[in-house]
């Protein structure tokens, strides 16, 4: 579904990503794991068109999207939920969600996708007339994901969805990801919590210094000596 080939990204004269190769199949949940500064967010921003690579190609369903603009990438079915939520704070919950359906391909699915978002996150339906900035942190994250789903994506890019949230909220968000996957939507997510990533994803890529140093099923990575040593202190 999504293929990244030999991707190099420079920023401010620095080489941020080096020879990145990854792929994501339909209905897969894939994690990007790495320390701060490893290049995880830059990779998501490059896939979604906000950063242009120095070298390499990105393909989505066979189409070369390497040089497409962000709004064009949303139109073909890639939705990016950035770190920090970035909702429209002065608008209501329902207005935030409706704005997520701005892409042409999403407009005919507004009612269907709104129903799905409210099924995933009943709190948003309860608070649909509420001003977004008055929501709790967890509710704002639900709103951010819900707005991404309103664009009728085929793949969802999620950056640090659990940052600063209580464990009970984090668990509910990851349960929602499994339901999203059942709808046929693939997910690529960045997560600081390595143990949680390996519990929730099907496969994972581990970045160090802008390079992918390991990739495998999460089952295998949990037992890999390097992962145990670096992340679990074993």
For residue 9, the domain's CATH number is 3.40.50.300
- Is the distance from CB of 188 to CB of 197 less than 8 angstroms? no
Decide if pLDDT at 161 tops 90.
Answer: no
- pLDDT, residue 231, reads 77
Beta bridge partners of 11: 14
Q: Residue 210 is part of which domain span? A: 1-77+154-162+185-234
pTM of the model: 0.91
Structure confidence at residue 234 as a pLDDT band (50, 70, 90): low
Total domains, the chain:
1
Cα–Cα distance measured from residue 193 to residue 131, given in angstroms and rounded to the nearest whole number? 30
Distance CA 128, CA 121 (A): 11
Where residue 49 falls among pLDDT bands split at 50, 70, 90? very high
Tell whether 108 is covered by a domain. Answer: no
Q: What is the per-residue pLDDT for 131?
A: 97
Tell me, yes or no, whether 191 lies in a domain.
yes
Which residues face 58 on adjacent strands?
4
What is the Cα–Cα distance from 111 to 98, expressed in whole angstroms?
10
Mutual angle of helices 93-100 and 137-149, in 10-degree steps: 30
pLDDT band at 104 (very low <50, low <70, confident <90, very high): confident
HSE-up of residue 151 (Cα within 13 Å, Cβ side): 25
In the predicted structure, residue 189 carries a pLDDT above the cut 70: yes
């Amino acid at each position: 579904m999504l293929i990244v080939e030999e991707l190099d990204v420079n920023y401010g004269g620095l080489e941020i990503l080096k020879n990145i190769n990854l792929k994501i199949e339909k209905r897969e949940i894939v994690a990007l794991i790495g320390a701060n500064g490893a290049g995880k967010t830059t990779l998501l921003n490059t896939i979604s068109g906000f950063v242009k690579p120095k070298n390499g190609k990105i393909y989505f369903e066979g189409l070369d999207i390497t040089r497409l603009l962000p709004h064009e990438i949303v139109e073909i079915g890639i939705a990016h939920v950035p770190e920090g939520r970035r909702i429209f704070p002065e608008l209501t919950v329902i207005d935030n969600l409706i704005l997520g359906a701005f892409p042409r391909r999403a407009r005919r699915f507004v009612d269907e996708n709104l129903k799905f978002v409210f099924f995933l996150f009943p709190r948003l339906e309860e608070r649909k007339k509420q001003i977004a900035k008055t929501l709790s942190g967890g509710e704002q994250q639900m709103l951010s994901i819900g707005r991404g789903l309103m664009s009728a994506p085929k793949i969802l890019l999620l950056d640090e969805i659990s940052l600063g949230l209580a464990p009970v909220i984090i668990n509910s968000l990851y349960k929602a990801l499994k339901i999203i996957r059942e709808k046929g939507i693939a997910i690529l997510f960045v997560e600081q919590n390595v143990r949680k990533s390996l519990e929730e994803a099907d496969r994972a890529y581990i970045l160090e210094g802008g390079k992918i140093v390991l990739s495998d099923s999460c089952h295998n990575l949990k037992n890999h000596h390097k992962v145990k040593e670096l992340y679990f202190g074993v």
